[in-house]
Structure 1
Amino acid sequence: MATQLFSGSDSTIAPGSLLLYGVVVAFIVYYVSTAIYCVYFHQLSHIPGPTFNKFSKIPFAMSLVRGNFHTQIHAMHEKYGELIRFSPNHISYTNPDAWKDIYNYRTSVPHFGKDKMNYITPINGVESIHSTPDDVAHNRQRRALAHAFSEKALKEQESLVQSYIDLLMKRLGEEVDGPKKGKTDLVRWLNWTTFDLVGDLTFGEPFNCLAKSDYHPWIALVFDSMRYSVWMVAAKQFPLLDRFLQRLIPKAVTQRMLDHHNLSVKKMDRRLAEKRDRPDFVAYLVERGGGLENISLEEMHSNSNLIILGGSETSATALSGAIYYLSRNPEKFQRLVKEVRDNIKTKEDFTLNKLAHLAYMNACLEESMRIYPPVCGYLPRTAPREGCVVAGKYVPPFTQASITPYAMSHYSRNFVDPDKFVPERWLDNERPTKYEGDNRNASQPFSMGPRNCIGKNLAWAEMRLILSKLVWNFEVEVCPESDNWINQKTYILWEKPPLVLQLRHRKDLPVSERA
């Protein structure tokens, strides 16, 4: 043997080996006793879930890194029910009442708070409206930013929003007339449009993606940062190994994150230094939100990244999903086309107010965000020291609790045929009897409560305008190579492959009336 375990003939164990054996035995005893405690005696031991998950965070962390957490958590709920335990101290709900109990809180009473184990502080070390666990700081930042996202602001921003969507239609028309005869990847065009628009609203200048038909390097950095963030969250599940696991992240990735932040800082500082008479976010912040008295410059830097991502990628995702599912259901697609073309007589009819009243289009978008929620990952919170009641059941102090939108909206007890695209389930006056029992409150793509999506109004405007103008101007068909497009992984956001469309000019629409 390479190491002599016994000294001479007296069978005495060497001190070094004795220490090693002691450490190994202690580790085994600790791990086994911890597992037994977590499975049988923990305050959450009565909540069902996979046995391994009850005493180990490894399955949870691995599902994050592999990009399949949303399907894993959904499968657990279908097997174990509306309340499950998927990590030693983390429970998940698919009971729709949990939305208001966990997220729709009042600051004056004990409530669930942000769980920093599952959120990443921006690279400048200053918390954003999304990452801060401090309710006071969140409310202060939100009040400062809220004016820029109000319905009044959106009305003033409408012409700017329209201009970018008109440019999208023009560029898609050029694709139809070009060498590829209208065969194009919709995902890229939607990302370019929404990033240009929200970039202009945030920084006072677009990224010029539509003009160049290419991604700006900043946008590539945004997508790179998503996987980095997932790795960070997975590593934070193991505090003793956190620093070691973070070192496994390539330095090139962390450098890109820093480059991403620095570019945002430059753009935001440049816009703040200018005085422009235009209805962008900075104008509302300075004129009506109290300026930098209510939100610091560093907080603006942290929030600018969030605003760009939240106002662009999520809308592009929802629209991609809508087009995909409509293409899988030709009768529903034709009903949408008919509604738009019957109600929109000229290109001047494309107003946000008019589009908001197109019932079937709104139902298609609601159903798209249900079956393919733009943010499909879990939304973790931590119970207060007093504990809380969620969906009629007590949650012990400091328990982590969350809802995963994908699991909630695909849960078979919430929706009949949860994997089928059925816009009619959202129509009050003609909902099929089969779907009358659907619990539509289960689908909350913009979340709920004081921390819900601040850009909801803008997102609806983008989606309605783009979808309606697309089917007004073009005949749309998804190509066979995108038949399985929906099979995607998630790293906070969906990792979307190309959605290849075949576009053709609408034959009965004069060139002068193209919107």
Structure 2
Amino acid sequence: MLGPIFATVVALLLLTTFVLKPIFDFFRDPKGLRRYPSMNIFCGLTNLGYIYEAHKPFRSKKLEALHKIHPVIRTGPNALSYGDIRAIKDIYGHGTTCTKDIWYDKLGGTHPHLADVHDKHEHARKRKVLSSAYSLKNLEGWEHKVADKTERFIKGIDKLCTEPLSPHLKRPNPEDLTVDYRMWANFFTLDAIADIGLSERLGFLDAGNDLVTAERMDGTTYTVNYRECLHSTAQAQCGTVWSYDWFPHLITASKVLSSRYRYLWKRSEDWGNIVYHRAMKRFRLYQKGEKFDDFFQALLEDKGGNPNNLPWGEMVAEVSIMMNAGSDTTAIAMNNVMYLLLKNPDCLKKLQEEVDSALEPDEIIAPYDKVKHLPYLRACLDESMRIYPPTTFGLPRRTPPEGCVILGEFIPGETSVSMSSYVAHRDPTIFPDPETFLPSRWLTEDSKQMQYAFQAFSTGARGCIGRNISYLEQTVLLSSVVHRYEFALPHPEWEQERKEVFNLMPGRLPLKASRRGVMVD
């Protein structure tokens, strides 16, 4: 007798929670958000509507199409997306009253890292600790580490080179597509950030693979693939986090209902163990009295050698975001600029001419001083990040409790607001013919206005602290490889696959590589 009654009660609770209450709240409309059109028919009722969109390959492309019609789109019962670049200042600018959304709390661990923390005073404290490590002056002092990784990258690609493609051929032989540029760019950034951040040599470029040691809390170690664990973590979180209150329950449900999610969450645990091993390995060296010129040292001590006395959990959190955001977004940017240059050979030729004029014919590693001010090189980097910003989705912010004004309209407090960089970068009033790869647009008098709309590194007080190191790595590697190699796509019409999680993740980029005649060894 109790069985049917219990089942009925559970069914009523589920019906009330997932159907009746959302419908009631939708029509009650306490914040007045119903006036905005929804991304799909469910987004105004439940966050499951956006979770559905998050499982599609490229949700920001749909959002961009909707924003051509509507300046504001409702992506959840309490979430708004903006498509007018004037909203950038209101949401992300230095004077904004918006703070980091609770989205960051849901994804954070026991201690928030610099990208997660939303309290402004706590953010200022953490940024003060880390600013010296990420300063341009300090990064240029670490140029030798980037040069070392560039040399190892080139040694790896040299081994994979084939004979130059005949001028009359447009399709390389399949067996000559020996270089997965996406993979090698990721090996480069992972090796570079580990050296810069932790004075550790992961050796991915030397080995041609990303096998790495992970460590459990009990001290046992095992071997996993770095990129698989990092990317699986993003996929698992991106598919479930958007319903903040239900996030822990969705994790459990996804593990029970989906073998794919069980796999992704297991790799996510492995990612945590990869980070833990990196931090423990570096800290053990410090305990032995060894000091290095790296990011971790900045966590441990200030410039005067005085201990910062940060909690261990906070140091591990900062290592985690450094090894994640400090590697993958730059690798994606490196992949994208090469892909777009190969799709636009006239632009590649112009870039090679500029780089060749700055470097000696037999120069293998481009010195940063020789290439950092090359205007067309920088324009190519910015244009590729405009078309394919590594992080495409709208970084969520939260309006203050008292509410605030965005685009001249009052938005009630505790509302999630955002603007996608993918959307911002396609405003035709700022970027005419936005789908065209046109580096020269950054060399015109309009470039100052374009910089305002350029959101590849976000903006304001919470803009990416690592943008200097990203430009350093991108500049040195790209100038070095276009000076030394000719690359070819599988065929001129070939398109690279992309899947959006938090970042816009490219698939493989199989290329034929051959040595250029400009080189003299």
Query: Does the CA contact (< 8 Å) of 2:22 and 2:45 recur in 1?
Result: no
Residue identity opposite 1:214 in structure 2:
N
Could you tell me which residue of structure 2 aligns to residue 146 of structure 1?
131
In the alignment, structure 2 segments of 5+ residues that lack a partner are: 164-173, 212-224
Quote the offset at 1:135 in angstroms.
2.0
Distance of 2:285 and 2:89 partners within structure 1 = 38
2:98 matches 1:112: yes
Partner SS state of residue 338, structure 1: helix
Deviation at 1:333, TM superposition (A): 1.1
Residue matched to 1:343 = 358
Q: Which structure is larger by alpha-carbon Rg, 1 or 2?
A: 1
**In the alignment, is residue 503 of structure 1 matched against residue 498 of structure 2?**
no
Name the Cα RMSD after superposition: 3.1
1:501 partner SS = strand
Encode CA deviations 1:34-66: one digit per residue, 9 max, x unaligned: 33234xx64223333345322222221111233
Separation in 2, partners of 1:343, 1:200: 28
Deviations 1:216-235 (A, max 9, x none): 23343222211122134135
2:314 to 292, 299, 309: 299
Q: Is the 8 A contact 1:90 1:399 kept in 2?
A: yes
Matched with 1:366 is: 382
CA deviation vs aligned residue, 1:356-386 (integer Å, no higher than 9, x gap)? 2111111111100000001112200110012
1:270 to 281, 284, 290: 284
Partner residue in 1 for 2:35: 46
Structure 1 pair 375–267 and aligned structure 2 pair: CA distance change class (3 A)? farther
Q: Answer with 92-101 or 400-409: which moved more.
A: 92-101
Note if contact 1:476-1:503 (Cα within 8 Å) is conserved in structure 2. Answer: yes
5+ long unaligned stretches in structure 1: 4-13
1:193 aligns with 2:188: yes
Match of 2:86 in 1: 97
Which amino acid in structure 2 is aligned with residue 46 of structure 1?
R
Residue in structure 2 matched with residue 318 of structure 1 by the alignment: 333
Distance 2:268 2:65 in 1: 33
* TM-score, normalisation: structure 1: 0.85
Shift of 1:199: 0.7
The correspondence for 2:241, drawn from 233, 236, 240, is 233
Q: Secondary structure at the match of 2:239?
A: helix
Counterpart contact for 1:388–1:395, Cα < 8 Å: yes
The alignment of Structure 1 onto Structure 2 pairs a total of residues equal to: 486
Give the conservation status (yes or no) of the 8 Å contact 1:77–1:411.
no
Bigger drift between 346-355 and 471-480 goes to 346-355
Tell me the distance in 1 between the aligned counterparts of 2:10 and 2:191: 60
Structure 1 Cα separation of the partners of residues 8 and 512 of structure 2: 72
> Who is 1:209 aligned against?
204
Aligned counterpart for 1:156 among listed residues 132, 141, 156: 141
The amino acid of 1:233's aligned partner reads V
Q: TM-score, normalised by structure 2?
A: 0.84
CA distance in 1, matches of 2:475, 2:15: 63
Which SS does the other structure have where 2:80 is aligned? strand
Which sits farther off after the overlay, 358-367 or 178-187? 178-187
Task: Give SS of 2:228's match.
Answer: helix
Q: How is 1:431-442 mapped onto 2 (pairs within 5 angstroms)?
A: 439-442=450-453
Please name the residue that 1:62 is paired with.
Answer: 52
Rounded Cα–Cα distance in structure 2 between residues aligned with 1:140 and 1:313: 26
Contact 1:318 / 1:368 at 8 angstroms: preserved in 2?
Answer: yes
CA distance in 1, matches of 2:400, 2:148: 47
Moved more, 59-68 or 150-159: 59-68
Q: CA deviation at 1:273?
A: 2.9
Q: Could you tell me which residue of structure 1 aligns to residue 25 of structure 2? A: 34
CA shift for structure 1 position 406 = 1.2
Residues 246, 144 of structure 1: alpha-carbon distance in 2 compared, 3 angstrom cutoff = farther
Aligned mates of 2:338, 2:370 — CA distance in 1: 21
Task: Name which of 470, 481, 504 aligns with 1:470.
Answer: 481
> Quick one: distance in 1 between partners of 2:498 and 2:226?
23
Shift in CA distance, 254/180, structure 1 to aligned 2, threshold 3 Å: closer
In the alignment, is the contact (CA less than 8 A) between 1:315 and 1:459 conserved in 2?
yes
SS at 1:394 equivalent: strand
Q: Does the Cα contact within 8 Å between 1:425 and 1:438 map onto a contact in 2?
A: no
Query: Per-residue deviation at 1:472?
Result: 0.5
Q: Aligned partner of 2:72: which letter? A: L
Letter in 2 for 1:87: G
In 2, Cα distance between equivalents of 1:258 and 1:72: 33
Helix, strand or coil for the counterpart of 1:503?
strand
CA distance in 2, matches of 1:128, 1:375: 18
Deviations 1:253-289 (A, max 9, x none): 4532442343233234234335556432233442428
Q: Deviations over 1:440-476 (max 9, x none)?
A: 4222211112221111111001011111001111112
Q: What is the rounded CA distance, in whole Å, between the counterparts of 1:400 and 1:468 in structure 2?
A: 41
Contact 2:368 2:472 in 1 (8 A): yes
Identify the residue that residue 269 of structure 2 maps to in structure 1. Answer: 255
Give the whole-Å Cα distance in 1 for the aligned partners of 2:493 and 2:307.
47
